[in-house]
Structure 1
Amino acid sequence: MMSIYSPLPDDHIRIIELQPGERDDSLVCNLIPVSTQPWPDYETISDVWGDPNITRPICCNSESLPITRNLGHALRALRHHNRCRRLWADAICINQRDLRERDQRVRLMHWVYANAQQVVNWLGLDNGSAKVAAEFIASVSKAYWSYAWDKESWGEGLVIKSFKSNRVSWDALADILDRALLERVWVIQELGRALKAMLRCSDIEIPWENLTRTAALLGLHCRVTSQSLNARFAHVMLIERMFLMYNHIGNHFG
């Protein structure tokens, strides 16, 4: 384990260099200390650790390193077939057995998420709803622009009529939002500081900007939604406001 985790200077972080492979290949990575002067290129994984007692080994710096099953699923899904991918995940990049390092690094995590090229909110493996939800979100996101430019022609009734008919799509959307855990403080902070974000479920990707447009349009006008779903829309918009508060250039609606 010592060859995996060497002491870090204050202005360094560790980056996972995930080696390419096919879905069923063993997970192999190098854990590389890199300077934050300037910040390097990498993506962060925002995920739920899952049961810490259920682990799977990966090969890290030529040593065996146990990680949770959920993180293993994420790495397999995000791994490229023909090139390395540079990632940051707290369960690997912070030495969880070193309490001093863990306390020091946790205080820097907001900078890690703020400077990442992209934050990937890992939702777990697809249970059949992800593709339906992604297509529904994409269609509502596209309609958002039409509504934004011509609100009088749309009106509340047309918004509801356009999107309420397919119960399967609404159920899939609710499932995806429930799995995103958007009400959790750490998820709000991680996504709210992101330059760019997406939801990922197995091989299905949902751009964060599509989700914010969907929440803005349906949350305001579709009263047919449940209280639970409206609460999820509110959390999406809270994260969007945090994004704007941190003074990033542009916004997720653009």
Structure 2
Amino acid sequence: MPFPYDTLDDDPGRPQTRLLELHPGLPQDQIHCTLRTVTLNEAPKYEGLSYCWGDAKITSLITYFWIDAVCINQTGTTERNHQVAMMRDIYSSASQTIVCLGPETDGSRQALGLVPDLLAVRAKFHGPGKGDFPTRVPSVGTLSFEEVVAIPELSRLVRNIQARTSFGQLFGRPWFSRVWVIQEVSVSFRTTVACGSVELDFDDLAQAYMTFMSLGLHLYTDVNSVRSQDILYSIWDTRRKKSY
């Protein structure tokens, strides 16, 4: 039996949506939740989820979430189109967006463990900060052996072949093939990436990935991550322009 959604008011002056409210409980308890209709500009603090179907896993303790597959009546074409048109406002109004990459598989924990070293290498060549594209990071192939071993973080990256391969595979996950994630993440106040039980800042992951590509480390694996690079660069460029 289909869930009986209530009707949302389509008044453009008071746009409405629904939020999923999670009730308190222990980890072993059955999940209880309530779908609440709210006016967007009067909504309680909530988080938006950016995911591919089957990959969503809520790890935050916040009470309210906006999840498109739940909060939108998917059988109502008029409502669905209206809510899709509101997505920019919905994601920009959220306290943060959680990017759900799915479960911990294929060495994803080890792959994400490379992020600190990649950021350290970026800072070595490019300076601190998150606002610039890491174009000044040289390819490993242009560096001498002495130059590589002189940077401990880079030396570890070159030696850790399995983690490098897993890092490239991470960006082959379905989330990185969705063009509309550009809007979801670009307008978000803050974005956290969740993969299994591991969480990290989206901007850190994006900068680490761009550094990975600039170093040419993807050339030493069998992973083709060009599409992921295009998606991440589009998000980075949009967020950078928004901050000006």
TM beyond 0.5: yes
Q: Find 2:71's aligned residue among 84, 89, 93.
A: 93
Distance 1:97 1:191 in 2: 26
Aligned partner (choices 164, 167, 173) of residue 161 of structure 2: 167
| In 2, Cα distance between equivalents of 1:137 and 1:236 | 15
Query: Which residue does 1:15 correspond to in 2?
Result: 19
Counterpart residue number, 2:224:
228
Contact 1:195 1:248 in 2 (8 A): no
- In the alignment, the residues of structure 2 paired with residue 130 and residue 224 of structure 1 have an alpha-carbon distance, to the nearest angstrom, of 16
Alignment of 1:79-228 (within 5 A): 80=61, 85-127=63-105, 129-149=107-127, 156=139, 157=143, 158=148, 161-179=155-173, 181-222=175-216, 224-225=218-219, 228=224
The reply on whether 1:243 has 2:239 as its aligned counterpart is yes
Query: What one-letter code is carried by the residue in structure 1 that aligns with 2:196?
Result: S
Superposed displacement of residue 230, structure 1: 4.6
Shift in CA distance, 206/178, structure 1 to aligned 2, threshold 3 Å: farther
**CA positional deviation for 1:38:** 4.5
Count of aligned residue pairs for this structure pair: 220
TM-aligned CA deviation for residue 189 of structure 1? 2.2
In 1, Cα distance between equivalents of 2:218 and 2:200:
23
After superposition, the Cα gap between the structure-2 partners of 1:7 and 1:177, relative to the gap in structure 1 and judged at 3 Å, is same
CA distance in 2, matches of 1:201, 1:127: 9
Runs of 4+ aligned residues of structure 1 deviating over 3 Å after TM superposition are 1-4, 20-24, 158-162
Aligned-partner SS, 2:159 = coil
- Residue deviations 1:170-211 (CA, integer Å, cap 9, x gap): 122122211253232122221222221122112111311111
TM-score, length of structure 2 as denominator length:
0.77
RMSD (Å), alpha carbons: 2.8
Deviation at 1:37, TM superposition (A): 2.4
| Structure 2: 5+ residue stretches without partners | 129-133
Q: TM-score, normalised by structure 1?
A: 0.74
CA offset digits 1:36-76 (Å, max 9, x no partner): 224542111111124xxxxxxxxxxxxxxxxxxx44xx13x
Cα separation, partners in 2 of 1:145 and 1:126, compared to 1, 3 Å: same
Q: 1:7 to 1:132 in 2, by over 3 A?
A: same
Instruction: Tell me if structure 1 keeps the 8 A contact 2:206–2:232.
Output: yes
C-alpha distance in structure 2 between counterparts of 1:148 and 1:28, whole Å: 48
The one-letter amino acid of 2:224's match is S
Q: Report the alpha carbon displacement of residue 136 of structure 1 after superposing the two structures with TM.
A: 0.7
Identity %: 22
Structure 2 CA distance for aligned equivalents of residues 134 and 23 of structure 1: 25
Whole-angstrom CA distance in 1 between matches of 2:43 and 2:237 = 25
Which residue number corresponds to residue 60 of structure 1? none
The structure-2 alpha-carbon separation of the partners of 1:186 and 1:46, relative to structure 1 and needing over 3 Å to count, comes to same
User: What is the one-letter code of the residue matched to 1:9?
Assistant: D
Equivalent AA in structure 1 for residue 5 of structure 2: Y
Instruction: Measure the CA separation in 1 of the matches of 2:63 and 2:120.
Output: 30
